[in-house]
A and B are shown apart, each in its own frame.
Chain A
Amino acid sequence: NAGVTQTPKFQVLKTGQSMTLQCAQDMNHNSMYWYRQDPGMGLRLIYYSASEGTTDKGEVPNGYNVSRLNKREFSLRLESAAPSQTSVYFCASSGRTRDRTDTQYFGPGTRLTVL
């Protein structure tokens, strides 16, 4: 039981390049999320997916796209990377629990630098 996994762990891009961050979970969770973490800003929600086949914008969606490939996988794509997208990206998942709190579980993160 690996929980939430993310690839790659590190990535350096040049401005204008594109890339896709991959996320997978093996907890049979319905909901998945992408966050970015910047110093002093805490976690900011980029996109989320309540269930397979649905995606919604979060707080900071501009410059990103997502795909909920199936129940396990949720990818984040940067079409044309900008230096402002230098950040640490976390994927998370949650499932409806008996206590109805939908506790989130996080992956290890992807550290992205855009030059």
Chain B
Amino acid sequence: AQSVAQPEDQVNVAEGNPLTVKCTYSVSGNPYLFWYVQYPNRGLQFLLKYITGDNLVKGSYGFEAEFNKSQTSFHLKKPSALVSDSALYFCAVRVSGGSYIPTFGRGTSLIVHP
């Protein structure tokens, strides 16, 4: 079984401040972890993924995510938020070697204030 939780429905941050969007997961085995972003009235866009190796993954638009195996977390981060980062963010997980279909979290709305 695989599951993912995004504990915050909404995250508010001021422009220029660092941002973190949280994600925790549960899988039986080694995880593949993904972050997607959805801008208003658009489809989901792939941001980054963790496969194995380096715990810090860098992705598009200056985003990065930190894999923490002991805490089963994969938090999305950005050092300096932009108003244009305001969107809905989804975390997803699938188990390595298992079903290729990922399980998505419910999404976190990120609002960056000017």
Q: Is the CB of A107 within 8 A of B43?
A: yes
* Docked-complex contact B51 and A106, CB < 8 angstroms: no
Q: Is the CB of A103 within 8 A of B106?
A: no
Q: How many A-B residue pairs have CB under 8 A?
A: 47
B46 touches A105 (CB 8 A): yes
Q: Which residue of B lies closest to A56 (CB)?
A: B101
Residue from the list A45, A50, A90 in contact with B43, Cβ < 8 A:
A90
In the complex with contacts A41-B106, A42-B90, A101-B101 CB distance below 8 A = no
Beta-carbon contacts under 8 Å, A87-115 to B: 90, 92, 94, 99-109
Cβ of A25 under 8 Å from chain B: no
Q: Which of A43, A45, A102 has its CB near the most chain B CB atoms (within 10 A)?
A: A43
Contact with A along B92-113 (1 / 0, CB 8 A): 0010100011101111000000
Q: In the bound complex, do residue A43 and residue B104 qualify as a contact, i.e. CB atoms below 8 Å apart? A: yes
Q: Are B106 and A42 in touch, CB under 8 angstroms?
A: yes
Q: Which residue numbers of B lie inside 8 Å of A, CB to CB?
A: 9, 32, 34, 36, 41-46, 49, 51, 90, 94, 96, 100-102, 104-107
Q: Apart from A40-B9, A50-B100, what are 20 other A-B pairs with CB-CB below 8 Å?
A: A33-B101, A41-B106, A42-B106, A43-B44, A90-B44, A92-B44, A99-B51, A100-B96, A101-B32, A101-B34, A101-B49, A101-B51, A101-B94, A103-B34, A103-B46, A103-B49, A104-B46, A104-B102, A107-B43, A109-B43
